[in-house]
Structure 1
């Protein structure tokens, strides 16, 4: 009887511990422009380029007892093409025409500057996370005028249980969407894209 009880407790302990060990997650977020933009251009061409300026594709960890095994990763190839498509769509909504080249047109470079995912270090369980993203706009007009702007977004999310890939993908998508929307709602972007 005692032997069965010990075996049962051991099994429960193993299940409990395995619940604290979280696997790495590779996310493929889908940023989307929120709401409408005011058109200020008349179809002028603009070169639009999106680049990864992060020091690492690792956003952070989900925390928990074995935080070292629970990295959250967003590879450049999982997000840059989507940011490129949304940036070109935003430029069209502003009244301009995205183009691949041309030396005598304004150039907009959208830099994915930072993505972060932080969980409380003091807890053995994942109860919340701070997620943030920062984009940088670098504009250059043919006349040599330049503008750089930083646009960030963040959120704090509480969890009843450790978040899965779908939940974290949505959260990272949300902060990227907010940062992207803030960028293209900056009136300076439209003004600079009009300058020659």
Structure 2
């Protein structure tokens, strides 16, 4: 009798282990975008205030897939606004702006993250697909003038195996850098920020 109970316990334990193996644990990636150093100075000390808002409808980036995709989610382990603000301030200083100036004519550069998606689609095919999307809106204003722009990045990458946590972190940061670089390359935005 004791032997049968012992066997049942072992079978139950192995079943739990098997089910757990089919699931992927949730991941939190750290956002630390490294914008490439500015290759040109476009400003001559124009005062600039940088703000970043996180207005994503969902704070979850996506799912890693697997049998229990609803629980194997990827999210950020730190504050998006803080991480992007730090990177942008450094870049704008390199470009010749006087960041965080108290000058009354300061340009307000408000960068709004509307979406950031890093997701394994529900339909499993050959390999491991990851959908990547980022959408940013910018609102720049100064002395009654205003400029608005929208910037989007969308790409898909296929991997033989599910990417590791460090790899996921690298790809999410690259996605953020790409959408910010697209924003900073906008000739109309640059002209607005340069004008005195």
TM-score, normalising length: structure 2: 0.82
Across the aligned residues of Structure 1 and Structure 2, the Cα RMSD in angstroms comes to 2.6
Picking from 49, 52, 60, the partner of 2:51 is 49
Q: Does 1:140 align with 2:141?
A: yes
TM-score, normalising length: structure 1: 0.82
Q: Which residues of 2 match residues 115-134 of structure 1 at below 5 A?
A: 115-123=116-124, 127-134=128-135
Cα 1:14–1:126, aligned 2, differ >3 Å: closer, same or farther?
farther
Cα 1:35–1:89, aligned 2, differ >3 Å: closer, same or farther?
closer
Match of 2:38 in 1: 36
Match of 2:105 in 1: 104
1:69 partner SS: coil
Q: Which has the higher contact order (CA 8 A, sep 6+)?
A: 1
Cα 1:155–1:19, aligned 2, differ >3 Å: closer, same or farther?
farther
Cα 1:126–1:52, aligned 2, differ >3 Å: closer, same or farther?
farther
Match of 2:4 in 1: none
Structure 2: 5+ residue stretches without partners? 1-9
Separation in 1 of the partners of 2:194 and 2:36? Answer: 23
Cα 1:19–1:123, aligned 2, differ >3 Å: closer, same or farther?
farther
Q: After the TM superposition, which of the residue ranges 78-87 and 20-29 deviates more from structure 2?
A: 78-87
Separation in 1 of the partners of 2:94 and 2:44? Answer: 11
Separation in 2 of the partners of 1:131 and 1:192? Answer: 30
Count of residues in correspondence between the two structures: 187
1:82 partner SS: helix
Report if the CA contact (8 A) 1:155-1:175 is conserved: no
